Structure 1
Amino acid sequence: MKITVQSSKVLKPAYDGSVPSVATNLATPLTMFDKVTYAENVNGVCFFHPPVPSKSSLETGFVKALAAYREWAGRLGVDANGDPCILLNDAGATLVEATADVALSSISPLEQTPDLQSLCQSGGGDNGEEVMVVQITRFACGSFAVANTLHHLVGDGHGMCRFLMAWGNATRGATVDRIPVYDRASIFKPRNPPRVDFEHRGVEFTKPRPEQKARIINRVNCSDTVVVHRVHFTPEMLSELKSQGSAGAARPYSTLQCVAAHLWRCITMARRLDGNMITKLKIPVSGRERMHHPPVPEEYTGNVVLWAQPTTTVRELVASPLRHIVEIVSQEVARINENYFRSFIDFASSGVVEEEGLVPTAALAKAATDRSAAIFVSNMKGVPLYELDFGTGQPLFLFTRSYPPVDGFVFIMPNLSSDGGMDVQVGLFARAMDIFKDYCYSLTTANAKL
C-alpha cells in the first residue's frame, strides 16, 4: 500500500459572528489528572463507507470544531507561574489529506502492522508543536480513513471523542455549539480540610528507583519484537466468559470485568512467569461517572481517569477459577469510588508530590521489560466513537494503538461488531503471542503450566 500526501496545512479556529473577539493569550493549567496520565500522543483510525466528503467541507468542519474545542488548537507550555498548562493561543492543528493506491478491502482484515502506520502522522505536543494532527486518506474504492493523533495530556478518550464528533457534525453541516474552556484547576478543588483516606504513593505516584531506569535501557536493547493481535470475542465467547466469571456470585459481573480477568490470566500464562511473581492489572476507572459532589461537566475535555490495580501472584492467577479472578478485579474497581477520587485530589494538591520528588507511575509504565508481570488496559468501549459520522454513517472499523506497540498493553475497543461481539487489541512479544492465542480462544486454563 502506497500512501501519497496531497496536502498538509495548519488550520486555525474559525469563529462566527456571535463571537466578536477571542483572547489568545490565555492559559489553562493542567490538573492532577492530566499530570498522571500518559504524556504521549494517542493514535486512532476510523474507516468509513464512501463517498469521501469534499475537501472544503472537511476543512470547514474542522475549523468550526476547533472553535468549539479551543484546547485542541492550543499548545502545551507553562504559565506565568511556571506550571504546565495548555496555551490557548489558537495556533491551530494540522490537517493532512492523502490517497492510497489500493482498495480498502485489499488491506482487510485490518491488523496493526507497520504498513498501517502510514495512515497516521507522528504528531507533536512538545517544543511548541500542535497537540492534534489528523489525516484523511482516500482509498481507490472510494472508502476513506480518518486518523487522529492527539496528545493525552490535553484530554482523555471522552474528550478526544467529543471533538471528533463535533468535526463530523460540522462537516455534515450541523450546528456545533461552542464549548466553554473550563478553568481546569477550579473543577478539582481540594476539600477543606483535606482528607487523604487512601494510599497514593506507589499507586498514582512513585519515586523512581535505579532499577527502573535500567528497565528503560533494557527495553530499548531487547531483540524481540512486540506484535499486536486483534482478538474478536463472539457473543457466544462473551456469554461463556460471563457464565464462568459469575458462577456462584450474587449477581452477574460485567462482561468487561470478565473479559479483562480472562485476558489478564491468558497474557500472564503466555509470558511463562515464575509463580511467585506479583502480577498487576491496571484498568482505567472514569471519574465522570463517579464524582457527583460536584459533578464533572459533561462537555469537559480534560482527563478524569484513575486506575484500579488488582494484584495477585502469578500462581494464584493461573490456578484459580475465573470467578475468583473476576472477583479480585470487581472489588478493586469498586474501591475506586468518589471518596477515592477526592482523596487523590487532596493528596496531589498537598505539595507532598513536589516535596518528595514523586513522579506519575504512568511515566514508568512503558519502561517494563519482557519479564514484566504488569498488564495495562485502555478501555475504549464506553467512548462513543461508533456515533462518529462524516455523512456516510458510522465507522466500518476502527482501531487505536500505541506506536510502536508495547508489550502488555491492551485496548478494548468500542462495539462496532455486527454480530454483537467485542474486539480487543493485545500487544505482546512475538514469542508469547501464539501461546496467548491458544489460551485466549480456548477459554480454559486446563493445560496451564508455570
Structure 2
Amino acid sequence: MFTVRRHSPELIGPAKPTPRELKPLSDIDDQDSLRVYIPAIQFYQHQPKLQNKNPASVIKEALAKVLVFYYPFAGRLKEGPSRKLMVDCSDEGVLFIEAEANVTLKQFGDALYPPFPCVEELLCDDRGSKGFLDSPLLLIQVTRLLCGGFIFSIQLNHTISDAPGLVQFMTALGEMAQGASKPSTLPVWQRDLLFARNPPHVTCTHHEYDEVEDTNDKIIQLDDMAHRSFFFGPIEVSSLRKYVPSYLKRCSTFEVLTACLWRCRTIALQPNPEEEMRVTFAVSARARFNPPIPVGYYGNCFASPVAISTAKDLSTKPLAHALELVMKAKREVNEDYMRSVADLMVIKGRPPLTIGKSFVVSDLTQVGFYLVDFGWGKPKYGGVAKAGVGALQGILSMCIPFTNHKGESGIMVSIGLPTASMETFTNELNNMLAQDNKNLVLQEHNSHFRPRI
C-alpha cells in the first residue's frame, strides 16, 4: 500500500477574460449515457534536467493559459427544456489538486496498464455533494512521486468531449506547459454541426438504444471477478487472421480482435444457446461527414453500433460469423447514421445506451494519449485509468497500444470475467492460436496486488 497526500483543491480559471455566454451542446453530446465522468491517467518519468521544476506548478500555470482558448471547460452545465444541456461559460474554473505519493514509478512495475493499484487515490474526485450540473467539467490531479516522476490524472465530463477531444485538449495543455503561446490546433466549438434536423426523423436502425432485458447480472457477479490482460503482437494477430476467409481479408485488426473476444467470452460464459449476445463498440465519425467535421472540433462525434448473434451461433460457427457481423455494424456508421442518432435523441427523450446482454469493446490504440508531453517526454503509460465506470463495469474490454519486454509493438486487451469463466476464456483463446503462442496471457492482475514500499 502507498499513501497519497493531497493539497487543498483549487479552481483554476482562464488567465485572461473570456466571453460570458450560454453554449448549447450538440444532440450527440447530451446523450443520457454520456452523463458520466471518464478518467484518464498518465505516468511520467523523472527528467534530471527538470529536477528543479515542480510539474504540478508548471501544469497549473499552463492550465490557466490553455483555458483562454478552451474556456467552456471552465464553465458549468445547465439543463434546459427537454433536458437539453448547455454550458454556462461562467469561468468558475477547473478543479485542480496537487499531491504527493510515497512511492516511486518503478514500484508500479515495468509493464504499466490497468488496473492500477490504489487508482482512486490518484484521481481527483473532490466534487463533494455537488450534482452533475453544478460540478467542474474537468478534475485534474498531479501527483509527484519519490523518484521525481509524476502522475497526471484527469476526469472529464463526457458530455462535453469524447476521447479524441480530450487528447486534443491535453496536447494543447502540454504545448502551453512547454512555452507555446497558443495551441498548434485551435479548438472548434460548432456544436450546431450535430444538432438534430428540423423536423427530426430517424432514418436508420439503432439497436444500441433497444429496450432489452438486462441479463448481465445473471452471469456477471462483480464481487467474484477475475481481471486479466492479454498481449496481441504481430504473431498473435497473424495467427488470428488465418481464420479470416478471403472475402473478409480487408478487416482491421480491431475488428478481428473484437470478433475473437466476443466469441471466446460467449463460450466462457456458457449462456443459454438461444440467448441474444451483443457487442458494442465506439466508431469515430469525424471523417464520415461531407464535408468532414472541422479539425479542432472537440465535441463528441462517435456512434456505438451493435452486432447481434445468438450464443449458439457465436460458439459453434467459425470466427468469420462474428467478424462479418462486427464489420457490417461498423460500416453502417456514416453521416446519415449520425444525424439519425441526433434525431432519435430528440424524439425519444435521450434514451440510454443499451447495456443489457452487451459486451463493450473500446479501441484506444489510435487516440494518442501516449503522445501527450508536458515537457517530461512521452508517458510510460497514457490512457484510461480503469476498465469501466458505472454500468460498464464487468462488461468492458479496452484495447490499448503496448510494447512488450521484447520490444514488440502490439495491443494490450483487458477483460473481466467471473473467476470460474476466466480459465475457459483463456483456454479457448489459446486454442485459436498456434502452439508456440501459449504465452499470450501477459499477467493476471490480482485485486490484492500493491507495489512494494
TM-score normalised by the chain length of structure 2: 0.83
2:423 partner SS: helix
1:175 shift after superposition: 3.0
The alignment yields a C-alpha RMSD, in angstroms, of 2.9
Pairwise mapping of residues 241-252 of structure 1 onto structure 2 (< 5 A)?
241-245=240-244, 247-249=245-247, 251-252=249-250
Greater mean alpha carbon deviation, residues 402-411 or residues 96-105: 402-411
1:32 partner SS: coil
Relative to structure 1, is the Cα distance of residues 416 and 121 closer, same or farther in structure 2, using a 3 angstrom cutoff? farther
Aligned residues of 1:291 and 1:341 also touching (Cα < 8 A)? no
Relative to structure 1, is the Cα distance of residues 68 and 347 closer, same or farther in structure 2, using a 3 angstrom cutoff? same
Give yes or no for the alignment of 1:47 onto 2:43.
yes
Superposed structure 1 runs of 4+ greater than 6 Å apart: none
Aligned residues of 2:123 and 2:155 also touching (Cα < 8 A)? yes
Figure out how many residues of one structure are paired with residues of the other and give that number: 417
Relative to structure 1, is the Cα distance of residues 435 and 198 closer, same or farther in structure 2, using a 3 angstrom cutoff? same
1:198 shift after superposition: 1.4
Cα distance in structure 1, aligned partners of 2:28 and 2:293: 13
Greater mean alpha carbon deviation, residues 50-59 or residues 436-445: 436-445
2:125 partner SS: coil
1:286 shift after superposition: 1.2
1:190 shift after superposition: 4.5
Give the gaps of 5 or more residues in structure 2: 436-453
1:310 partner SS: strand
Greater mean alpha carbon deviation, residues 167-176 or residues 51-60: 51-60
Aligned residues of 2:165 and 2:299 also touching (Cα < 8 A)? yes
Deviations 1:14-59 (A, max 9, x none): 345xxxx4233x2222222112343211111111121375243221
| Equivalent residue, structure 1, for 2:286 | 288
Amino acid at match of 1:424: V
Give the gaps of 5 or more residues in structure 1: none
Give yes or no for the alignment of 1:438 onto 2:437.
no
| Equivalent residue, structure 1, for 2:157 | 151
1:170 shift after superposition: 1.1
Match of 2:411 among 418, 422, 425: 422
Relative to structure 1, is the Cα distance of residues 41 and 250 closer, same or farther in structure 2, using a 3 angstrom cutoff? closer
1:348 shift after superposition: 3.7
TM-score normalised by the chain length of structure 1: 0.83
Give yes or no for the alignment of 1:170 onto 2:165.
no
Greater mean alpha carbon deviation, residues 66-75 or residues 408-417: 408-417
Aligned residues of 1:5 and 1:96 also touching (Cα < 8 A)? no
Percent identity between the two aligned chains: 25
| Equivalent residue, structure 1, for 2:294 | 297
Aligned residues of 1:206 and 1:360 also touching (Cα < 8 A)? no
| Equivalent residue, structure 2, for 1:375 | 359
1:426 partner SS: strand
Deviations 1:327-369 (A, max 9, x none): 11111111122222233334444xx314xxxx4232x52xx5x
1:206 shift after superposition: 4.8
Cα distance in structure 2, aligned partners of 1:353 and 1:328: 27
Amino acid at match of 1:267: R
Amino acid at match of 1:323: A
| Equivalent residue, structure 1, for 2:370 | 386
Cα distance in structure 2, aligned partners of 1:407 and 1:94: 29
Cα distance in structure 1, aligned partners of 2:396 and 2:145: 30
Aligned residues of 1:123 and 1:130 also touching (Cα < 8 A)? no
Cα distance in structure 2, aligned partners of 1:310 and 1:63: 43
Deviations 1:225-279 (A, max 9, x none): 344322221221112223323x322643111100111111111122121111110
Pairwise mapping of residues 90-239 of structure 1 onto structure 2 (< 5 A)?
90-108=91-109, 109-110=111-112, 111-113=114-116, 115-122=118-125, 124=127, 126-177=132-183, 179=186, 182-184=189-191, 186-191=192-197, 196-200=202-206, 203-206=207-210, 224-239=223-238
Amino acid at match of 2:29: D
| Equivalent residue, structure 2, for 1:277 | 275
| Equivalent residue, structure 1, for 2:450 | none
Amino acid at match of 2:147: C
Amino acid at match of 1:7: H
Aligned residues of 2:46 and 2:150 also touching (Cα < 8 A)? yes
